[in-house]
Amino acid sequence: MSTQYDICFVTVGDRKTAGEIASGLLKERLAACVSEVPGVESSYWWKDRIEKSSETLLIIKTRRILREDIIQFVKSRHPYAVPETIFTEIDGASREYQDWIGANTLFTTNIPKDKAPGSKEII
């Protein structure tokens, strides 16, 4: 059964940046939850060399419609030249969990600023 919700994976090189991205995604209502998993060891190709880094993995629970907004948010705050933003569909989650994600994220980012989360005029 297909859902309208995703998990996004983002790796970050330091805990401070990970925390800033996580709290920013939550404040902007682009994510319902962000789990920070420190101590991930990543090996990867970069500039024709194999590199190895200790990173923090962010596991972001969100709406599928917010994918592009999350990509842009992460790019604007991430120190990497090519930050990882990998999405996968949430499959098999309970209806209650999906409803919780939906209740805690934006339906769309195409809303007037005075109606955005954190403004005084939200209905």
Q: Is residue 98 part of a domain?
A: yes
Tens digits of residue pLDDT in 69-81:
999 999 999 999 9
Question: Which domain CATH number covers 94?
Answer: 3.30.70.120
Find tokens 């990998």 and name the residue.
86
Q: How open is the CA angle 111-84-32, to the nearest 5 degrees?
A: 45
Instruction: Give the max Cα distance, the chain.
Output: 53
- Range(s) of the domain holding residue 77: 5-115
Q: Is residue 65 part of a domain?
A: yes
Q: Is residue 20 part of a domain?
A: yes
Q: Do the Cβ atoms of 42 and 52 come closer than 8 Å?
A: yes
Tens digits of residue pLDDT in 43-86:
999 999 999 999 999 999 999 999 999 999 999 999 999 999 99
State yes or no: pLDDT of 123 exceeds 50: no
Per-residue pLDDT at 113: 46
